[in-house]
Structure 1
């Protein structure tokens, strides 16, 4: 009977395998016959797309039925295997636009858990990565791929033990780059798709190093999908990703169509810097039955506004979110604000990208965004998926004209909002009282003041951000401070050069700047010996030093010099006339460099003119050791500028060639190191016969039942011949010997424990 069941299961597995192959062939045929230009315009539902049944079932259960415009255009093209640059308004469903092609690409390639990493999804923030991963687990629950989420703020070792077995990896650039460089077993040779969500943010200077490191590990033959509300057209950025004829879909950078949602109402208000907090307080007090998101330019401003407003209690739940929060706190804050009906969240631009907070009524931009792209992402947190929403931008009089011009050039024209004086309320006295009573609040206010000025100073667009026109005293008074703190801003080209200068050159520059004669009225270089001799409290030094310098020690109020017969260091001179001209020059060198020069015979040659050492050529003629080229031969080669350019070009080519060789060497060393570590771990696993601990792996779909059934069938062929272990009693009928071992169940109640005690005593 068992043999019949075994044969039946084998036939079922073969039939299932044949059916899956037929479905894949049918799916490939549908995709090849599918024309995005013709068929893409006529379809509106996911069910009409040439995608697998498992993906359709996951989309249906997650209530994704009808496609948005960006999903219609990009999914149809992505299924054909082309590279895509998708640009669409915020809240238009870009997440599904790249997750569906990712799952389908892995399905058609028949990726299993043994094939390693096949898809990589990169997002600039942790919150956005978590949001993408949650959507992936919903729509891919019926697919058999393993997926992992790696972000900063989590335990790296925990991820390293599991990440090598993931087919789809979602994470931030820094953590993904770390795993590719350090984790053993991370094989990217089978990568099918690379996705960059909020691509313009991922490709900027903030993540340049991490993205370059990631791309260096990936094969060039892959599909690349870039998605953002504001796309980068920089040729160098696109070349770094090895894009092959990418299809540009959506809002392009050169037309005048706004990237903000149509249901978004946009306003701006002209307000002095000293009235911003009063304006924000008045707005919150008049919108207590609303969900508000407030943007500041720095986290110190977020901290001060949150702490001060929370103390004053406006009557609405207040939350804060910025980058230096721990990961657990950031996720808790995001969840609370998402589920809240009425709340106010103070945040930095970390929230401006991709996060989907449901039903936000107002987005308040207290500080001016750095560019129109930042404005689009900030304002796009509300009015998502066709819902209504409003945005308010606070502009200083010095920022208004230039910023509105830049917004208008991008098709964004917010309306002017006039605030009535009777609706304005001031909280300046309350803030002054808080800063006076609580030193911590005063410190927070000072830090907020300094961080705001620094954020304005580092902006690139100096026509919008004019740090010289900011009223420092009025702004400090609006924060409740008694006066404007002193600001020391480090930066500029000079500081960058000094920062990158070697320590030897920095010390040389300092010595040259200070090493002037005292006769010229400039400060002389002071060595450690000078500082020692100039100490005020000389009595802490040894008596021998005091005797050498002629210092008298006062004892019991007497000025007599202490006599000590054993003090051989004491110098006593009487009636000697010392002539300074007859004495040798025994002064200490002025610096370490001079001391080294005085003791080195080689360095002292500089005081004796040029060296007289000669060298001989092949003809036996003598030449000076250091021979300069004459002026005529130098001019015959061209002018100095041309020779300089030729020399620089020659050296640049040599450096580029050396750089390529160094990169290849480093790559080979890294691969060899990973291979050795992998071999070491494999040897350890072979030696270890103990059972592995249970591991937690996020899996999309069910396990491979066929493989489990096959292993169970093999175990049915031959009965187990294992010998009973020492703690097992024999079940044989002829075994009547008592081995003295009593098998008992674990006691659950007090009565069981008493019975067990009695039985053990009797035995």
Structure 2
């Protein structure tokens, strides 16, 4: 009876709760319909003034979100009305909440449950930004009943395929989302309500245009699209024409399509030669140990080299590194550590230049000039977020100063010049040279950093700023600690980003025809087992090892000849061809005696003579250690007797010099041995004196009451040492064998003690 009453009560409670939710939903629809964002009365300052549900408002309150930012005031009301949004705003202005709140409210008003499949899709250019968006979504949507998922590269695809069909809101990167749309059977997009493109310009710059076009092709046209970015480029405008319907443009001014930097950011730049960049960076870090610093490089190889060398030099602050080729777990761990750290320095590439919110960054340092002004805006936007104060420092080469400052002036960015005090600048070139000399890994990292920097400058489109021909090669290599500038071989170009982010499976499918067979002119399609067996060692010296062992394959003989100078070590042979007439006849049977003789090293040496040692010259030719001169050359040198006398004279002079040196060495050894013996005796005397009961008395052993006689005796003994008393075993005195008593002196050495023992045993 109790269980029935409890079940009846729970059923009634559920019915009443559903009625309240239905009434709140009707009321919410009415509030949104009556809400007019264009009226002056609709201007809001807090989230409680918006027509949103109580669950969403409670999640915002629990996460300490109370007031709206400028971009949120201008975009959220129109997004709640169902309009497409194309918004641009300053970095750190709160764009994440500007699209997450409307996304949840639209799903709530359309009665989306966990059984309705995918209803909202949020795309982000980087894994770190996708993780950050997902974490914010979990906080503010904790009281709603939606199911949300995160799909990024570096995770288990099979695990995601089993669960992606049950997600209402999906946050991910374009590559992984496109893969699921093409491969996951349960991922249905017919019920999609909202599509969000965050940092859309970055998605296109990273080569994700084909993936985004593929994703948009799978989605229904009746959806609502929200496009957010910190800058607006021509590619973003083209994407907006394809995916947005009559969008409302927010935050785009008529004077410039690119947003300015935060007002609370102090921006500086310095003009510096290329070879002094690492010295200035080291001095800057040493003078800001109590700060949180984010350092941007143009390539991951530079990040690795700087991190490894600075870590060994120990500047006194926690160092971290982050770049795209890191594993997913390592990237998330580094991001968490830097976010929670109070004082730290993070070396990173542009992978963290967009959207990521690192709390309380004091300095953003750009070692290398960014590719354009928009990238500069995103980099410095990691500091001075949400009204906080921050500073940035940009290092420009003399060839980059004029051109890049004009780009910043066109964006109305006020940047000041900073002078470096010579007293505070310290050089670390000797330490870097020592590290490269001692550790081949560091040297190889330095060479790769050198090549990657030149390659990054070469592929830049703005040739008025980036002038690779004016870069100093030898001085820059010396500043990295390298003995010389390595050879540079440029590969790739403007399309390298697209090839880098292109799906491997799509590349493999492009090389096959409709039947799955290999196309003409293409190489054999490699399976995962082929890749497993072709996998190299992940150390930095693997390429050199392959060159040395001859395992590295070349495309053809022409490339082999052209790359001959770049190989690490090559063994040249001309007699490696085998001909059938030289081979033994395999049809003739081999006897046991012949087989034993062939396999036995001892028997084979008996017929061929003793083995001889050989030495190799610089050309790789073998020579005996003692090689005889030809008879003709010997006769040309003159008479044999004269040569004999010259040889004997020369060797005599050499032996005389060697004899003098040997005598000097022997004398030094004797002196050293004598010095050590005196030192041992001195220590023994000091220990004996310390054990004496009479402290503070004369050092002489007093045997006679007259002190003067003792002094005279000691001085005479020092001038003329008396003959030592012979030991008992050195005398010829014969003792009576019947005498059972043996009188001996106190044994002084181990030999005396052994002789005494033998005598006692004999008696």
CA–CA distance in structure 2, aligned partners of residues 330 and 469 of structure 1? 36
How far is 1:229 from its partner? 1.2
**Within-5 A mapping of 1:174-193:** 174-193=175-194
* Corresponding residue SS for 2:147: strand
CA–CA distance in structure 2, aligned partners of residues 390 and 493 of structure 1? 32
1:428 maps onto 2:429 in alignment: yes
Structure 2, unaligned runs of 5 or more: 498-506, 512-518, 524-556, 562-572, 585-763
* Corresponding residue SS for 1:206: coil
Q: Deviations over 1:402-445 (max 9, x none)?
A: 10101111111210001121121110111111111111111000
* Corresponding residue SS for 2:207: helix
1:540 maps onto 2:578 in alignment: yes
CA–CA distance in structure 1, aligned partners of residues 31 and 438 of structure 2? 73
**Within-5 A mapping of 1:384-403:** 384-403=385-404
Residue 671 of structure 1 is matched in structure 2 by none
**2:265–2:391 contact (8 Å) kept in structure 1:** yes
Q: What's the TM-score once normalised by structure 1's chain length?
A: 0.65
Residue 655 of structure 1 is matched in structure 2 by none
Residue 415 of structure 1 is matched in structure 2 by 416
CA–CA distance in structure 2, aligned partners of residues 110 and 495 of structure 1? 45
Q: Deviations over 1:498-538 (max 9, x none)?
A: x99997699xxxxxx99xxxxxxxx9xxxxxxxxxxx9649
Structure 1 residues 61 and 354, CA, compared in 2 at 3 Å: closer, same or farther? same
Residue 147 of structure 2 is matched in structure 1 by 146
**Within-5 A mapping of 1:636-655:** none
Residue 378 of structure 1 is matched in structure 2 by 379
CA–CA distance in structure 1, aligned partners of residues 198 and 421 of structure 2? 42
**1:229–1:259 contact (8 Å) kept in structure 2:** no
**Within-5 A mapping of 1:608-627:** none
Residue 32 of structure 1 is matched in structure 2 by 33
CA–CA distance in structure 1, aligned partners of residues 494 and 336 of structure 2? 43
CA–CA distance in structure 1, aligned partners of residues 143 and 521 of structure 2? 63
Residue 19 of structure 2 is matched in structure 1 by 18
1:161 maps onto 2:159 in alignment: no
How far is 1:26 from its partner? 1.3
Residue 63 of structure 2 is matched in structure 1 by 62
* Corresponding residue SS for 1:275: helix
* Corresponding residue SS for 2:332: helix
Residue 340 of structure 2 is matched in structure 1 by 339
* Corresponding residue SS for 2:423: helix
Residue 270 of structure 1 is matched in structure 2 by 271
Q: Deviations over 1:557-606 (max 9, x none)?
A: xxxxxxxxxxxxxxxxxxxxxxxxxxxxxxxxxxxxxxxxxxxxxxxxxx
CA–CA distance in structure 2, aligned partners of residues 80 and 468 of structure 1? 55
* Corresponding residue SS for 2:86: strand
The Cα RMSD (Å) is 2.8
CA–CA distance in structure 1, aligned partners of residues 43 and 172 of structure 2? 35
* Corresponding residue SS for 1:540: coil
CA–CA distance in structure 1, aligned partners of residues 47 and 299 of structure 2? 42
CA–CA distance in structure 2, aligned partners of residues 225 and 447 of structure 1? 41
Q: Deviations over 1:284-327 (max 9, x none)?
A: 01111100000000000000000101111111111101111111
**Within-5 A mapping of 1:412-561:** 412-491=413-492, 537=575, 540-543=578-581
Higher relative contact order (CA 8 A, sep 6+): 1
How far is 1:18 from its partner? 2.6
How far is 1:492 from its partner? 6.9
CA–CA distance in structure 2, aligned partners of residues 67 and 203 of structure 1? 29
Structure 1, unaligned runs of 5 or more: 507-512, 515-522, 524-534, 547-763
CA–CA distance in structure 2, aligned partners of residues 4 and 423 of structure 1? 81
**2:459–2:493 contact (8 Å) kept in structure 1:** no
Q: What's the TM-score once normalised by structure 2's chain length?
A: 0.65
* Corresponding residue SS for 1:481: coil
* Corresponding residue SS for 2:137: helix
CA–CA distance in structure 2, aligned partners of residues 494 and 338 of structure 1? 33
1:119 maps onto 2:120 in alignment: yes
Residue 646 of structure 1 is matched in structure 2 by none
Task: Please identify the structure whose Cα radius of gyration is greater.
Answer: 2
How far is 1:183 from its partner? 1.0
Residue 315 of structure 2 is matched in structure 1 by 314
Residue 90 of structure 1 is matched in structure 2 by 91
* Corresponding residue SS for 2:243: coil
CA–CA distance in structure 2, aligned partners of residues 539 and 65 of structure 1? 82
CA–CA distance in structure 2, aligned partners of residues 258 and 239 of structure 1? 18
CA–CA distance in structure 2, aligned partners of residues 495 and 321 of structure 1? 21
CA–CA distance in structure 1, aligned partners of residues 69 and 490 of structure 2? 47
Structure 1 residues 538 and 99, CA, compared in 2 at 3 Å: closer, same or farther? closer
Residue 730 of structure 1 is matched in structure 2 by none
How far is 1:15 from its partner? 3.1
How far is 1:13 from its partner? 3.3
Structure 1 residues 253 and 458, CA, compared in 2 at 3 Å: closer, same or farther? farther
Structure 1 residues 350 and 539, CA, compared in 2 at 3 Å: closer, same or farther? closer
CA–CA distance in structure 2, aligned partners of residues 288 and 245 of structure 1? 51
Q: Deviations over 1:135-154 (max 9, x none)?
A: 10110011000001111111
How far is 1:332 from its partner? 0.8
Structure 1 residues 241 and 167, CA, compared in 2 at 3 Å: closer, same or farther? farther
CA–CA distance in structure 2, aligned partners of residues 315 and 537 of structure 1? 59
